[in-house]
Amino acid sequence: MSSSRRKFLQSAAAVSSAALLSSENLFASTQKVSQAAKTAPIVISTWDFGRFANADAWKVLEKGGRALDAVEAGVQVAEADELNQSVGYGGLPDRDGNVTLDACIMDEFYNCGSVMALEHIKHPISVARMVMEKTPHVILVGDGALQFALANGFKKENLLTESSEKAWKEWLKTAKYEPIQNIENKSYNKDGGKMPGGIDNHDTIGMVALDANNNLGGACTTSGMAFKMRGRVGDSPVIGAGLYVDNEIGAATATGVGEEVIRIVGSHLIVELMRQGMSPEAACKEGVLRIIKRNPEKSKGIQVGFLALNKKGEYGAYALQKGFTFSVKSGSEEKVYSAKSHY
C-alpha cells in the first residue's frame, strides 16, 4: 500500500464524508488498486462523477438498507445532474435533437428491469425498477416505456437543456459522428465542475453495491452516444452487457462504446470469469482483451471500461484506454481511482 493511500485510510475515519468529497485525496493517481479484504457494505460506480452518486447510495447502505435501493438512489444523482451531459436530464440528444434515455437495474434474485429509448422522464432507472417490480416483463422501449411511466405517476419533462441544445446545434454544423475517447478527468474537474470545452459523447453511470446483508444490486443509466441515430440503443440497458448481478458471485457494469460491449456480453462475461476464480480486475481485463481480439485495429480508437465487485467486497476495473476512472465508497474508504488500461 502506498504511504499516501495508508495516510488517507488512517485519516478517513476521522473526517466527515462531506469534507472527504471535496478532498484532493479522492483523486488517486495510482494505477494500483489495493485488494485488501473489504467488508460490506460497499458501493462502486463508473467515472469520477460517480462519487456524488456513491454518496447518496451510501446513505442507504450505512443504515443497513438494500443494495437495490442504494443503487437506485445513487444513480438518480447523475440522472438529475444537468451538468452531466451523458446521463438523464441534460443528456446530449440524438442526431434529431431528442434526449432518449436507457437504463437497467438488477437485484439479488436475478430480477431485472430495463427501459430503452425512453424520452421525457428524468429518472429512467426508477421506471426500469418499476418494469421489474410491476410487470411480468424485463424490457419496455420507446413510446411503450413512456406510456408505462406516465401511467405510474412519472412526470413528463423537457430533458433538453440549453447547453445540450447548443452542443447539438454546434454538432449539426458538421454532423460528423465520431465517438471520442474519454480523456482523464475531462468531463469533470476535481471539484465536480464541468471542464471548459469538454464534451464527452459517452459516459454512462454504472453502479454496483454489496449491502450489509451481503446482497448485491446494480444499476446502469445513460443518455447513450451523443448525436446517435434515432432509435440506437447501446449496452447500458441490456442485461448482461451493460450490467449483470449474480448474488452468488459478484456484479459488473460497463461504460464506453456499447456496441463492443454487447458483442461480448461484457458484464455477464466478467461475472462468469469471477465465478471461475478470477479477481474482479483480472476478469475486467479479460473482457477488454476479448474486445481487442475481435478487432485489434478498431480497439485502438475507442474506449470501453469495465468495473466489477465480488461477494467478498473486492473490486477492480480495466479499460481499453487511459482515462477511465471509478469511484469507491465503503466504511473504510472514499476514493476515485484511475483504472489500468491496455493502451
Binding site for ligand ASP (CB under 6 A): 202-204, 222, 224-225, 234-236, 255-258
> Minimum CB separation from ligand ASP for residue 166, in Å?
21
How far apart are the C-alpha atoms of 278 and 272, rounded to whole Å? 9
Phi and psi at residue 342, to the nearest 5°: -75, -45
Q: Which is nearer to ligand ASP, 41 or 218 (CB)?
A: 218
| 232 contacts 287 by C-beta, under 8 angstroms | no
Q: Which is nearer to ligand ASP, 47 or 315 (CB)?
A: 47
How far apart are the C-alpha atoms of 268 and 81, rounded to whole Å? 29
> Minimum CB separation from ligand ASP for residue 202, in Å?
2
Cell of 257: 462504446
How far apart are the C-alpha atoms of 326 and 337, rounded to whole Å? 5
Cα pseudo-dihedral 193, 197, 199, 205, rounded to 10 = -10
Q: Which is nearer to ligand ASP, 140 or 320 (CB)?
A: 320
> Minimum CB separation from ligand ASP for residue 204, in Å?
3
Q: Which is nearer to ligand ASP, 38 or 202 (CB)?
A: 202
| 198 contacts 63 by C-beta, under 8 angstroms | no
> Minimum CB separation from ligand ASP for residue 101, in Å?
10
Active-site annotation, residues: 204
How far apart are the C-alpha atoms of 176 and 107, rounded to whole Å? 39
